[in-house]
Amino acid sequence: MEPQGRTKVVLLACGSFNPITNIHLRMFELARDYLEDTGQYIVVKGIISAVGDGYKKKGLIEASHRVEMAKLAIDTSDWIKVDTWESQQPEWVETAKVIRHHYKELVSEELNIDEVDTVKYTKRRKIEETDSTSEGLFSYPKMRDNVPQLKLLCGADVLESFSVPNLWKPEDIAEIVGRYGLVCITRTGCDAHRFIHQSDVLWKHRKNIHVVREWVTNEISATHVRRALRRGQTVRYLLPDAVLSYIQQHGLYSAESEQKNAEVILAPLQRYTGPSSSS
């Protein structure tokens, strides 16, 4: 198969990364292997996007630390990058909007490559005006053939979370799986297919959902890592040594930090439920 005949893909992983573990990094490797093995795709980039502090998840430490740890973790990777845009937003940003933002970034990157500098500048201005000035993040970017496809990389738990009431807007789910696509890493295989089967919108876009089987059972969760850390137990080899040193230097995960946002309702639930829901 000719590489030029393949579709370029950028993988985007959104999450807390509180803290990043080897499993998060493994997901990128597994997804790339899977997509490239189909013969249809070439994975050109991976993006880690940490959620902002406005997400209000219990035990979520400051974004600056989570981003710094992610940067340390991807230091040895030549294709995964950390992006700070989402983590710097004052309010929680819906995943669909994060994807739109990154797609627009890809469009302007493509223009940077294609055009001579002077032309590029005006062209880019034009793109930005038409794509974002009118409604900003609320507008759908125009899909372009010469721009890599952007796919959301996630675990099976994200597929499952689509059915949790008030966590996702239905139109956001449709946009994510319909316009972009999902790469879902799962340990058991059957679960992911069941979630797709049980959801009409996922089933409709099933061809846009790649289910990747993780054969090595590996349940390193960030929750487990935080629990071990605040109990003074070892987490070595579950995350990169550089991240572990950073955690120790900054005394990051403790009983106190785990109580952060303890009584607070998760931002998406706050936004989509209750009388204050206006959007």
Partner 1 sequence: MAARIPLVLLACGSFNPITHQHMRLFELARDHLHQTGRFHVIGGILSPVSDGYGKQGLVLAKHRVAMARLALQSSDWVSVDEWESQQPDWTETVVTMRYHYDRILKRYREGTGKDSGPTANPQPPTSSSPRLKLLCGADFLDSFKVPGLWLDHHVEEVAGRFGLVCVSRGGLDPERAVHESDTLSRHRHNIFLVREWVRNETSATEVRRALRRGLSVKYLLPDSVIEYIHQHDLYTRDSELKYKDALLRPLAKQTEIPVLSLSD
Q: What residues line the site for partner 1 (CB under 8 A)?
A: 22-23, 25-26, 29-30, 32-33, 76-77, 215-221, 224, 233-234, 236-238, 241
Provide, rounded to whole angstroms, the least separation between the CB of residue 57 and partner 1.
20
CA gyration radius, the chain: 19
The phi and psi torsions of 122 (rounded to 5 degrees) equal -65, -40
Element (H, E) at 225: helix 222-230
Q: Which is nearer to partner 1, 76 or 130 (CB)?
A: 76
Q: Under 8 Å CB-to-CB from 273, ≥6 apart: which residues?
A: 166
Q: Which of 142, 147, 148, 114 is nearest to 128 (CA)?
A: 142
Provide, rounded to whole angstroms, the least separation between the CB of residue 91 and partner 1.
33
Q: Under 8 Å CB-to-CB from 228, ≥6 apart: which residues?
A: 234, 235
Q: Which is nearer to partner 1, 26 or 124 (CB)?
A: 26
36: tokens are 């490239």
Provide, rounded to whole angstroms, the least separation between the CB of residue 159 and partner 1.
20
The SS3 of residue 77 is coil
Q: Which is nearer to partner 1, 25 or 50 (CB)?
A: 25
Sheet architecture: strand order including 209-213: 80-83, 41-50, 7-15, 149-155, 182-186, 209-213
Q: Tokens 């502090």, residue?
A: 53
Provide, rounded to whole angstroms, the least separation between the CB of residue 225 and partner 1.
8
Q: What is the spatial distance between Cα 107 and Cα 138, in angstroms, rounded to a whole number? A: 17
Q: Under 8 Å CB-to-CB from 107, ≥6 apart: which residues?
A: 127, 131, 141, 142, 144, 147
Q: Which is nearer to partner 1, 33 or 128 (CB)?
A: 33
Q: Which is nearer to partner 1, 72 or 238 (CB)?
A: 238
Q: Which is nearer to partner 1, 26 or 169 (CB)?
A: 26
Q: What is the spatial distance between Cα 112 and Cα 110, in angstroms, rounded to a whole number? A: 5
Q: Which is nearer to partner 1, 29 or 172 (CB)?
A: 29
Q: What is the spatial distance between Cα 247 and Cα 180, in angstroms, rounded to a whole number? A: 35
Provide, rounded to whole angstroms, the least separation between the CB of residue 233 and partner 1.
6
Q: Which is nearer to partner 1, 64 or 218 (CB)?
A: 218
Provide, rounded to whole angstroms, the least separation between the CB of residue 238 and partner 1.
7
CB atoms within 10 A of CB 54: 15
Provide, rounded to whole angstroms, the least separation between the CB of residue 246 and partner 1.
15
Provide, rounded to whole angstroms, the least separation between the CB of residue 236 and partner 1.
5
